[in-house]
Amino acid sequence: MTVTIEPFEESHLESVVGLSLRAWKPVHESLCDAMGAAVFSALYPDWRIAQREDVTKACTSPDHETWVAIQDGVVAGFADTVLHPESSMGEIHMVAVDPDYQRQGIGTKLTDFAVARLRAAGMPVAMVETGGDPGHEPARRTYERSGFRVLPIARYFKKL
């Protein structure tokens, strides 16, 4: 099955939002476990609404470049990038693959494509962030396969 990567179009938005909600559901469940329900609920009263808003903003922002992975006529994933020329860095802001299409190399293909776009834009460094919790394990594997190295950072939370 051939996967093509195409520029995001407004007609892709609902598919991209829908797949992001499905893809990041286990991530949010893992974050809730890692942070504790009280902290998670304080930060994400309704993660689905916040996720929809974040993905819509990223995909429609003139400062971002978004691409979709199409397999068999279906939007199977997406990647969103943003340039930070002041720090000589390009950021892979979001990557998600629909759970029905995961473990087929689409995430790696999107990540490598995004890196190539950042390189073509003249960025000497690419950065992507993800969590250290179990729900983000597939993302970490994908980024490491694409040559990224992790910078260990500890971020602590406490419910007040």
Q: What are the tens digits of pLDDT across the range 78-98?
A: 999 999 999 999 999 999 999
Say which CATH superfamily domain 3-145 falls into: Gcn5-related N-acetyltransferase (GNAT) (3.40.630.30)
Structural tokens at position 36:
């504790």
Beta bridge partners of 137: none
Average pLDDT of span 40-54: 93
How many CB atoms are closer than 10 A to CB 122? Answer: 10
- Yes or no: say if 88 and 121 are a contact pair by the CB < 8 Å rule: no
Contact 1, 71 (CB under 8 A): yes
Residue 99 pLDDT: 94
Average pLDDT over residues 38-49: 92
pLDDT at 137: 86
Distance CA 42, CA 54 (A): 18
Q: Taking residues 58-70, report their average pLDDT.
A: 97
| Torsion sign, CA atoms 5, 8, 12, 13 | positive
Structure confidence at residue 159 (pLDDT): 82
> In the predicted model, is pLDDT for residue 133 greater than 90?
no
| CA gap 52, 112 in Å, rounded | 25
Phi first, then psi: what are they for 80, rounded to 5°?
Answer: -125, 135
Q: How would you list the strands of the sheet with 125-128, edge to edge?
A: 3-7, 64-71, 74-84, 89-97, 125-128
- On the 0-12 / 13-18 / 19+ scale of CB atoms within 10 A, 73 is exposed
For residues 127-147, average pLDDT: 88
